[in-house]
Amino acid sequence: MGSADTATANGNAFEVVYRDPSVYAEYESKWSALPQDADGWLQRAQHVADVLSVDAAQRERENKSPRAEVALLKHSQLLKLLGPKEYGGGGQPWEVGYKAIRKVAEADGSIGMLLGYHLLWSTTAHVVGSPEQADRLQKLIIENNYFLGGAVNPRDNDLKITDQGDKIVFNGFKHFNTGGVISDLTVLEGVLEGTEHHIFAIVPTNQPGIVFSHNWDNIGLRLTESGSVKIENVEAPWSDALGWNADTKQPNPEILQIPFASLLLPTIQLVFSNFYLGIALGALDYAAKYTVKNTRPWPYGGDNKDASTDEFYILSTYGTYHAHLLAATALLDTVSASLSNLYLLHSGPLSKRSTLTAAQRGAIAESVAATKIVTTDTGLKVTSGVFEVTGSRSTASKVGLDRFWRDLRTHTLHDPVAYKRREVGRWRVLGEAPEPTWYT
């Protein structure tokens, strides 16, 4: 079942094909009640993963815009997981959010990634906005069950922001914009003209000034709509400039010039590590089931077995991968809990945010960088190595085992892990935490 909309990019009109969201309509009522505790939320994430796993390989090959999959996330209530309960959110800490991202990614790396980015963007105002802005945006997002995308790729030139009286106006171009095409709201970030000051604002996606190129066609994470976007005269009121004083049109140093304001960066880096681990866990599970059902024993080894599951090297390889993933999981759970605890201790009023020190921020950033190294190395090893224990027939497109490696390889190039190794090395040897950047 499929549908199409007409879109325009580079002056040309064409069809954007997507699965009809009605394929998941039954879950709107089935999952209408919010889970009541952490275990319930993780069970809901597992249910979403179970639904996605049924046809994940086929959907990945078809490469249709994931409107139906986002509808499934909305039905599941997972988009609200971190939101305050007073507006209908789950009230859960980041620690639970990270595990939910990981669980969804086990079945479908693209949708796990979309969930992760949404959770990050939906809490942006809690980090770089005023308490009033954070409260107002949370109410808007949760009560409408909105899905967020973001045009904040730092490798491109910053969007240009001009001051036009009671509003700011964004213009520019971004080569990558995850989830934007199927989002309700888009996070924009740029530099105010004539200054060096950056401004975040969240705007409605469906407007003429946000022009998507519909050009995402990469080897992995094919259902993330991470293509380019042109921003043309997109307006936001000064009151929506996160962390800024709308009257003086100046950044509030109590919000934007404290270590807490840079906590978004390790937060999203840990989003990455969690869906990396989810993809790797999913690959090992998928491969093991394939081995049991389809892999044939090797008849020319001199120590022939009746079944592939009796082959020493197959069992040894699976055991090694399982052990390494257990270790990666333990590390990731520990670091996720640590970052989550920082949010619990320092979020909310500005008086609480100011208590996060640069040393605390540096320490958590280095722990996050370490997990990025481990999940990248382990994930790439597992997702490529499983072919050695599944056999040549597992490379068939219809099997879909290759999607795990392609997904992981695509995103682990987001920022070179070699720089993370050096960063962690300087921390370990010299005790030097990195200056906060868009990637640390």
The CATH code of the domain that includes 161 is 2.40.110.10
Burial 80-100 (b: 16+ CB within 10 A, else e): bbbbbeeebbbbbbbbbbbbb
**pLDDT tens string 116-147:** 999 999 999 999 999 999 999 999 999 999 99
Mean pLDDT by 10 residues, the chain (440 residues): 68 77 96 97 98 97 96 98 96 98 98 98 97 97 97 90 97 96 98 96 98 96 97 98 97 98 97 98 98 92 86 95 98 98 97 97 97 98 97 95 98 95 96 89
pLDDT at residue number 11: 64
pLDDT at residue number 12: 67
Q: What is the 3-state secondary structure (H, E, C) of 11-77?
A: CEEEEEEEECHHHHCHHHHHCCCCCCCHHHHHHHHHHHHHHHHCCHHHHHHHCCECHHHHHHHHHHC
CB atoms within 10 A of CB 330: 10
| 437 in any annotated domain | no
pLDDT at residue number 43: 98
pLDDT at residue number 274: 98
pLDDT at residue number 130: 98
224 and 323 both lie in a single domain: no
pLDDT at residue number 1: 59
- For the question of whether the overall pTM of this predicted structure is more than 0.85, the answer is yes
163 and 127 both lie in a single domain: no
d(CA 194, CA 200): 17
6 and 140 both lie in a single domain: yes
Report the chain's terminal Cα–Cα distance, integer Å. 43
Q: Domain with 37 in it: what CATH number?
A: 1.10.540.10
Residue 161: which of 77, 215, 267, 242 has the closest Cα?
242
pLDDT at residue number 18: 83
| 268 in any annotated domain | yes
| Averaged pLDDT score across all residues of the chain | 95
pLDDT at residue number 6: 65
Residues pairing with 14 in the sheet: 7
241 and 285 both lie in a single domain: no
Per the structure, the complete domain to which residue 358 belongs is given by: 259-430
pLDDT at residue number 16: 82
209 and 85 both lie in a single domain: no
CA–centroid distance for 105 within its chain: 10
| 89 in any annotated domain | yes
Torsion-angle region of residue 63: left (phi > 0), alpha (psi -120 to 50) or beta? left
d(CA 222, CA 63): 6
**pLDDT tens string 157-206:** 899 999 999 999 999 999 999 999 999 999 999 999 999 999 999 999 99
**H helices, E strands: number in the chain:** 15, 11
